[in-house]
Amino acid sequence: MSQQVKPWSQVASQRDRELHLKAPEIKRWREQEHEAGSPSDLEDFFRVHGLCFTCKATGTRLDPVGWDEKVPLFEECPVCGGTGKLSIQ
Ligand SMILES: [Zn+2]
């Protein structure tokens, strides 16, 4: 098992925080873009802000790669290398 695998307890707290912090910002941004007639999908938000949509900027794959007894284990996101960020193109 690689060192990059994290148990759900670590992943969950990080994910909840990230999504909780971003929710109002995402909602505002999507309304703005929609009114301006620009692409306003959730995926657009992540792309425009240099965030990894594959892992929803959490740095870990959304699906577990294995189990430690009853604890699901998550692997680093292969797209952003666990940073949750991508360079803006
Ligand atoms: Zn990622």
Domain that residue 57 falls in: 6-74
How does pLDDT run across 4-48, given as a tens digit for each residue?
788 888 888 877 787 788 899 999 999 999 999 999 999 999 999
Apex CA 4: angle with CA 20 and CA 52, to 5°? 45
How does pLDDT run across 37-78, given as a tens digit for each residue?
999 999 999 999 999 999 988 889 888 989 999 989 999 999
DSSP annotation string for 45-86 = HHHHTTB-TTTTTSSB-SS-SEEETTEEEEPBPTTTTTSSB-
What integer pLDDT is reported at residue 43 of this predicted model? 95
Q: pTM of the full predicted structure?
A: 0.77
Return the residue matching tokens 């803006």. 88
**Do the domain assignments include residue 87?**
no
Residues around ion ligand 1, judged by CB within 5 A, are: 52, 54-55, 77, 79-80
CA of 65 to the centre of ligand 1 (A): 15
Domain count along the chain: 1
**Do the domain assignments include residue 84?**
no
CA of 57 to the centre of ligand 1 (A): 6
Cβ 5 vs Cβ 65: under 8 Å:
yes
What integer pLDDT is reported at residue 6 of this predicted model? 87
**Do the domain assignments include residue 85?**
no
- Rounded to whole angstroms, the Cα distance separating 82 from 74 reads 11
CA of 75 to the centre of ligand 1 (A): 10
**Do the domain assignments include residue 49?**
yes
